[in-house]
Structure 1
């Protein structure tokens, strides 16, 4: 499944996520890990390195905009893993619990993956989504082969939603491209437990 939703947010919420991406990039400069992953459960304490103001901006995005839209595809979700990307280059990968995969070589997958663009001023930077048969929960082995891809251009205020277990990457870009990635899970992944302290 691949869905694209344009013009998702009002201007104020869009600016808040743009600011969040800038702050996230500065946090990445201060931490040794490759990325800062945060966890926002439906109930209980969040886990994040972000200040309460940034977490509130993410809560608004999650609860007022994203979750109502995607809940029909993942009604069993209990929380959201999120992080920001600023002008990044990513090779082919599958969204998964990275810590679990390193420990046992099995794919622990989210229920759904999403990418939102709060700022775009670039050439290139398309999200490439492969046509591979989806990797299944607890599957082992190398990433699957694929024959073709769907190219989704980054567009300001665009949300891209796709099924778990799908290979994807970011095309090289020139300019600026900010994205907010949110994966919906039925449980908290080990990745967020290792990456971010309780908020």
Structure 2
């Protein structure tokens, strides 16, 4: 009888221990899932400022008859570390009718991580984007949100959301981001670049200092969907 009672007490202790372990595991799983949902919500917020379908095409025009067109060729979800990657190809419009001998094509990747999107410049010759590895936008998207990062060439870049709002013409939310990086040849020793993002469209306006007294800019002229 004593042996049976001892066994019962041991079994009770084991059951209580198992119950505690299950509660701990369940709590950890709940916290982990909540963290995953939080990260997903942040990424979803950033991605909401971009189109989400292959074949989407942007056409831009701007400074001194500048123009370019680019399209989303492919969207992939990577298993590790769980990023979403847009593969983009495009070309700057050749105003020389082929006489310059330059390569007007370019290739980009937009890499969406858990809370931001980074632009990688895979190849370019005349395409005006300068910062490879630019963290274009970071959640939460709100005015005065700031972040800093190191570009692919090792330079330090500071970014700040300077404006947010809603366009009265199309009722789409937008945000404006300014990026600065040290450059002794530029005014105040800084290269400045500004981009405006609009919900579902991506970049709708771009402005940068290409020379100390010259400002380059372009804006979205049209979009299309081929698929």
Q: Tell whether the structures are fold-level matches, with TM greater than 0.5.
A: no
TM-score (norm 1): 0.27
Greater helix content: 1
TM-score (norm 2): 0.25
Greater strand content: 2
The structure showing larger relative contact order (alpha-carbon pairs under 8 Å, at least 6 residues apart) is 1
